Amino acid sequence: MYYLNMVFNVIVSALIVIQSALALPFNTLIFFIDNQASVFESGDDMYTVIWSTTLPGTGYVTYNYEGTEYTVKDEINGAIRSEDSIHSVRIPKKHLDGNSYTCHSQHVGARRAYVALKGRTVSSEPVQFKGYSGQEEIHALFISDIHENPSLAEKAVKNFDTEADLIVMNGDAVSFMTDAYKFKQVLSHAYTFSKGSIPVLYTRGNHENRGEYGSDAIEIFKTSTGGMYYTCSYGPVQFLCLDSGEDKSDDDWTYSGLVDYTSYIERETKWMESLTLDENARYRICIAHIPRPDNRYGNDWTQILADLGIDMFIGGHKHRINFEYNKESPFYMMLDGGKNGDDRYIATMVNIRENEIYVEAYDNEGTMRGDHTFAFDS
Ligand SMILES: [Fe+2]
């Protein structure tokens, strides 16, 4: 594979040199942004801007903040990443909220110890980003279990009267994660619903674990914890976004003996136990794909979540809506939809207000699949 890549790079590099000499548009035809950027929550007070290009190259984001021009590069340990076609840059939230940003990438055909062959630079249009701006009611659009097909979800989303302030992709955006092209599908879905202008909260579903690119994909997010679990806030709401792992034990034949989610979830559990959530948050909402916090690889998260003051747990995975899931739980639990047994996709809008959370769900045929008000003391 290494030699195949090297041969391909040499051919592409030679073509770049020839086309430059002859002023031909070859590089324009083969190198461009194939997935516009989306802005993902990645823990604490940071966003990670992620986009992709047709071929490997560099990535950087430019913006102005309080009179200073910033250029933030996609680098790791001091080296600018240039061998990947997926680019990610981490930016403080206060720099991006209410601001505009532009993404850039330069094609890198080959990179050796003392030389690199670089092609053209492509840039996105400037994108105006809307973070929390003090609005009294917050609209969080939940889209889980897309499984490669966002068209039904798009139809379902059109039924809501309100525009989303943030998007929650609650797992199983794709059915497996074998290579970078599968992660590009996640990016495509994220952009379809966010247009890069509102935050995306992404959780990993069980299906995104399946395939050798599963852990590579998580590294792209550059989260504070290093795993696909993190906290973030949107105005008065604090979110605890969790990685619920797989839906079967590590020794199931499905995983060929090549997973160790037991250790990963153990680390995540210890991290949860070390947390102190924001005491001033009006609501604390936990998001996780699999709605079984009572048993994650033998760990019962219920008491940990209760101790953290979680008000509500929103899960996916079941491909249905349920506003009173597991009534025994010390916090509200609900399921957010997905493609139902009747082949209709259900999307959910969570409307967060001062003393209540009003949830409504529509399917792609325009049928309201239910609504519910969760009451909270003032
Ligand atoms: Fe699932």
Residues 348/248/270/302 CA torsion (nearest 10 deg): 50
Ligand 1 centroid – CA 177 distance (Å): 13
Mean pLDDT over the full length of the chain:
94
How much is the average pLDDT of 280-299?
A: 96
Ligand 1 centroid – CA 76 distance (Å): 32
How much is the average pLDDT of 233-239?
A: 97
Q: Is there a single domain that holds both residue 238 and residue 356? A: yes
Ligand 1 centroid – CA 47 distance (Å): 25
Ligand 1 centroid – CA 64 distance (Å): 40
The last residue of a domain, from among 79, 102, 128: 128
Q: Which candidate, 377, 368, 326, places its Cα nearest to that of 348?
A: 368
Domain-embedded: residue 133: no
Q: Is there a single domain that holds both residue 347 and residue 221? A: yes
CA 347 to chain centre: 17
Q: Is there a single domain that holds both residue 222 and residue 115? A: no
How much is the average pLDDT of 13-19?
A: 71
Domain-embedded: residue 212: yes
Is pLDDT above 90 for 28? Answer: no
The CA radius of gyration of the chain, in Å to the nearest whole number, is 21
Containing domain of residue 56, as a range?
Answer: 2-40+50-128
Residue 67, burial from CB neighbour count under 10 angstroms (0-12, 13-18, 19+): exposed
Domain-embedded: residue 25: yes
Is pLDDT above 80 for 203? Answer: yes
Domain-embedded: residue 45: no
Q: Is there a single domain that holds both residue 118 and residue 236? A: no
Q: Is there a single domain that holds both residue 86 and residue 207? A: no
pLDDT tens for 40-62 read 999 989 999 999 999 999 999 99
Tokens of 175: 């059915």
Ligand 1 centroid – CA 108 distance (Å): 37
Ligand 1 centroid – CA 328 distance (Å): 23
The total of structural domains in the chain comes to 2
Q: Is there a single domain that holds both residue 115 and residue 143? A: no
Ligand 1 centroid – CA 365 distance (Å): 23
Neighbours of 39 (CB within 10 A): 28
Ligand 1 centroid – CA 21 distance (Å): 52
Domain-embedded: residue 61: yes
> Does residue 178 sit in helix, strand or coil?
coil
Task: Please name the residue that has the structure tokens 């890549």.
Answer: 5
Q: Is there a single domain that holds both residue 172 and residue 281? A: yes
The last residue of a domain, from among 128, 158, 191: 128
CA 299 to CA 294: how far, in whole Å? 7
pTM for the full predicted model: 0.93
CA 121 to CA 115: how far, in whole Å? 18
Ligand 1 centroid – CA 320 distance (Å): 11
Is pLDDT above 80 for 26? Answer: no
Predicted confidence band at 377 (pLDDT cuts at 50, 70, 90)?
Answer: confident
What does residue 251 show for φ and ψ, rounded to 5 degrees? -90, 5
Ligand 1 centroid – CA 310 distance (Å): 22
Ligand 1 centroid – CA 231 distance (Å): 21
Q: Is there a single domain that holds both residue 23 and residue 70? A: yes
pLDDT tens for 121-153 read 999 999 999 999 999 999 999 999 999 889 999
Ligand 1 centroid – CA 133 distance (Å): 33
Ligand 1 centroid – CA 35 distance (Å): 24
How much is the average pLDDT of 263-277?
A: 96
CA 88 to CA 187: how far, in whole Å? 11
CATH code for the domain in which residue 200 is found = 3.60.21.10
Ligand 1 centroid – CA 254 distance (Å): 14
Neighbours of 133 (CB within 10 A): 9
Predicted confidence band at 78 (pLDDT cuts at 50, 70, 90)?
Answer: very high
What does residue 100 show for φ and ψ, rounded to 5 degrees? -115, 155
**Residue 74 near residue 81 (C-beta atoms within 8 A):** yes
Mention every residue, 6+ apart, whose C-beta is less than 8 A from residue 285. 237, 238, 239, 240, 310, 311, 312, 313, 314
| Dihedral sign of CA atoms 18, 24, 29, 33 in order | positive
Residues 231/237/243/246 CA torsion (nearest 10 deg): 180
Ligand 1 centroid – CA 205 distance (Å): 5
Q: Is there a single domain that holds both residue 78 and residue 212? A: no
Q: Which pLDDT belongs to residue 353? A: 96
Q: Is there a single domain that holds both residue 293 and residue 260? A: yes
Among the ranges given (8-17, 252-261, 282-291), the one the predictor scored with the smallest mean pLDDT: 8-17
How much is the average pLDDT of 82-111?
A: 96
Ligand 1 centroid – CA 85 distance (Å): 27
Ligand 1 centroid – CA 147 distance (Å): 9
Domain-embedded: residue 318: yes
Tokens of 210: 């399946």
Domain-embedded: residue 59: yes
Ligand 1 centroid – CA 213 distance (Å): 17
| Helices then strands, each counted (H, E), the chain | 8, 22
Residues 241/161/345/164 CA torsion (nearest 10 deg): -20
Ligand 1 centroid – CA 290 distance (Å): 7
The last residue of a domain, from among 66, 97, 128: 128
Ligand 1 centroid – CA 318 distance (Å): 7
State the DSSP code for 44: T
Q: Is there a single domain that holds both residue 173 and residue 83? A: no
Q: Is there a single domain that holds both residue 344 and residue 200? A: yes
Ligand 1 centroid – CA 247 distance (Å): 7
